[in-house]
Amino acid sequence: MMHGYLYLSIILFCLGIVGVVARRNVFTVFMSIELMLNAANLVFVTFARVHENIDGHVLAMMVMAVAAAEAALALAVVILLHKHKSKLDTNVFSLLKG
């Protein structure tokens, strides 16, 4: 049964990557990242159960805290960008072009 959880987390994680790479909508990209974090959380919790060691739960909590912090900051940035460009397209922001 353990394998099921792990395979699921792999699928979610890969979907998250696909979302980040394939989509241009800022929100979708952001939520795809959250998806990857959740996939990781699932692994933590699974292994915590498997080894019967609740350190994994603590780590999952930490990840949630980080996700919350990230959400706050990322959304602030999104608001800022929207103010500047009124666009939600990641392709608009290409200052890194060499």
Partner 1 sequence: MFADGLFIVFATLAVLGAVGLVLFRHPMNGAMSFVVTLISLAGLYALLSAKLIFALQLIVYAGAIMSLIVFIIMFLNIQPDDLPQEEMKLFYVLVSAIVVCPIGLLLAKIVKSLPVHSTAIMGNKFGGVKEVGLLLFRDWLIPFEIVSILLLVSLVGAVILAGKRGTTK
Partner 2 sequence: MEQCANYLGLIPLFPLLGAVFIGLLHVFTCKRTALPEKVYGILACVGPVLAFVLALKVFVALKGLAPEARFLSYKAFTWFSVGELHIDMGFLADPLSCLMLLFVTFIGSLIHIYSIGYMGGDKNYGKFFAYMNLFLGSMLVLVLGNGPVVMFVGWEGVGLCSYLLISFYSEDRSNVLAGNKAFIVNRVGDLGFVLGMSFLFWGIGAHGFDYLSLKANVHHLEPAVALTVCLLLFVGATGKSAQIPLYVWLPDAMAGPTPVSALIHAATMVTAGVYMVARFSFLYAGVELAGNIVAWIGILTALLAAIFGMFQEDIKKVLAYSTVSQLGYMFAGVGVAAYSAGIFHVFTHAFFKALLFLGAGSVIYALHHEQNIWKMGGLKKKMPKTYITMVIGALALAGCPPFSGFFSKDEILYSALATGHFGIWAIGVLVAGMTAYYTFRMIFVVFHGEPRDHHAYEHATDAPSVMTVPLIILAIGALCAGLLNLPGIFGGDQVVSHWLAPSLTEHHPHGGVFLEILAIAASVVAFVIGIKIAYTKFGHGAQEPFFSGFADFAYHKFYVDELYDRIIVQPYKAIGSSIWKVIEPNVTDAPVKGVSRLYMVLGTAFKVFQVGYVRVYALYMVLGLGIMSLLLSQSLN
Residues of this chain that bind partner 2 (CB under 8 A): 17, 20-24, 29, 90-91, 93-98
- Residue 64's φ and ψ, nearest 5 degrees, are -65, -40
CA 79, CA 27: separation in Å to the nearest integer?
Answer: 11
What's the closest the beta carbon of residue 94 comes to partner 1, in angstroms?
13
Q: Is residue 95 close enough to count as binding partner 1 by CB under 8 A?
A: no
Of 68, 79, 67, 5, the C-alpha closest to 36 is 67
CA angle at 67 for the pair 63 and 70, rounded to the nearest 5°: 135
Least distance from C-beta 82 to partner 1, angstroms?
6
Among 67, 95, 96, 98, binds partner 1 (CB under 8 A): 67
Q: What CA–CA distance (Å, rounded) separates 5 from 9?
A: 6
Considering only residues 16-55, where is the footprint of partner 1 by CB under 8 A?
16-19, 21-28, 30-32, 34-35, 38, 41-42, 45-46, 48-50, 52, 54-55
